[in-house]
Amino acid sequence: FLIRHAKSSWAEPDMKDFDRPLNDRGKQNAPVMGKIMVKKKERPTLFVTSPAKRAFSTAKKIAAEFDYPKDKIVKVDDLYHATVRTWLKEVNGLPDEHQTVFVFGHNDGITEFCNYLTDGDILNIPTCGIVKIEFPHKNWKMISKGTGTMVYFDYPKLHSSCMV
């Protein structure tokens, strides 16, 4: 699963990008999207995130819906504004014992990576957007361009309960 962080706050324009928190809409959308994933009976066994405040906060809020401990969320420095090449390196390095992984990051890289994996044509994964991709491989190092199939693409505006 590729998950873009929820909506962040621009209340302090001089704040470092890395440190921007979620705004009220982001704080509401993340747990709602987590509940939706629970209802879809998704079963993540690993949460991996960019360490940026907005991405980690999104991961924590969604993880809470799965009773996944926040201290087990793996922060990967290189996922902060990662390129497709970096995304691929990180995904190829995931432990094979985890077949269902939620990975949180940022645009433009997350949208580009989704399209790279699936030969898709998504223009933009919106904030708190979730893309489920399945692969025919049992190990992560086999993942490469065009090897994934997009199962679904979900985001807050598709759900009236996410609207503020």
Q: Is the pLDDT of residue 75 over 80?
A: yes
Q: Is the pLDDT of residue 122 over 90?
A: yes
Q: Are 86 and 79 in contact (CB under 8 A)?
A: yes
* 3-state class (DSSP) for residue 4: strand
**What is the tens place of the pLDDT at every residue in 41-64?**
999 999 999 999 999 999 999 999
* pTM exceeding 0.75: yes
How many angstroms separate the CA atoms of 127 and 141, rounded? 28
Residue 30 identity: A
How many angstroms separate the CA atoms of 116 and 16, rounded? 29
How many angstroms separate the CA atoms of 124 and 115, rounded? 10
DSSP symbol at 8: B
Q: Is the pLDDT of residue 163 over 70?
A: no
> What are residue 133's DSSP bridge partners?
150
Structure tokens at 31: 């747990």
